[in-house]
Chain A
């Protein structure tokens, strides 16, 4: 059975894929359906949802279209979530592989650095980094990655420690392969599956961290973010709760979708590995 078919047979994976697909469609179609600046004033302020069908989800305190903001916010959430997770996994895999493979002093130094990062709460680290360097999309991505690469690094190192004792690594040394080539061509690809299994959790956490940073006003000010929308809505929470609830629901569904789809992928690849 093909991996895709096996994936589609798990209901939670399908649910996750549908949610993620909807999110991706929102992000991709944002500039087509809502061309122009989503932060421009579109109508009267604080218009409740389902009143005016040209503005289906109503408007916020400044009269901006909530639906347009939601679509454009999906872009930010998805971009930051994926980029931060990719960066965290890449840093973690490389650091973990070097530490596990190099042994001795290099291992010691790299793992103490990892310890140092791990002892600082990752959100505080991101918060401090953004407040010092200044908010922009790239900085937010780096800030989130800084706090999350340690998990993948530890998993990668543990895996590498087991793989480097295998015969095929000895064989690669025996033919005179360079240690760096052994580490990144022979060892790392085989150490990756358990590291990648963490990706769904990391992407979900990154999306939430981005939202939290934006909520605290440390997101990229030139972009619409769901966290920023919730923060905006907070000031009028009693009169117009929908302004916080709508992006809140979007956030919950996105994190749920990422998690379910990620688990589905891990499950299907695990089954495949178990059979072979």
Chain B
């Protein structure tokens, strides 16, 4: 059987998730034994339209990018959304609720109306085309992508955690950030990262998106219990989860 051909594509983002593919180091060589990259602008000069699996990072902010993404979707048998900008819209969505005229003037001043700077609201990849699989996180953990590709090649069903980061954080015996007087999105955020940020002494800011049926009422109770306001929770939700029920509140 010939190796599946992979295309790696980027839209509006920091390209940090592609970097995690390079950061696989020797394991990247192993991955290259399983698949054949045919498009990867950041790393390769060659290009091709013939790919089976499309790996897409970044958010869509312009119609020309949406059109390019639709073309990629048509070519690909399987499309993987890579990282928070692709799966959620990521930090790119922070500006969505803002007045766009003010946003462009803040950055581009008197050039705000130049046509090449026109940009619509940031959208996740799934808001433009059908996404088959998602690798969450900002940035992704490269090993999650490798596991997904291995699952796809061997016909296994990829496993997605349905519990919050709190579960992994407790297993690592971290002191709860709420006990330290902070606000943390661990109770609401989808696990799978090994509670990496709380384990490094920082609160969870929700880069993997909210867990299915996130219990926002319970989060409100925890907030109240620790003397925190809903506005404190919103501040964090408006980083990666702009459109969550609570994060949306202030601008609805």
Answer yes or no: do A and B interact: no
Which A residues contact B (CB, under 8 angstroms)?
Answer: none
Which B residues contact A (CB, under 8 angstroms)?
Answer: none
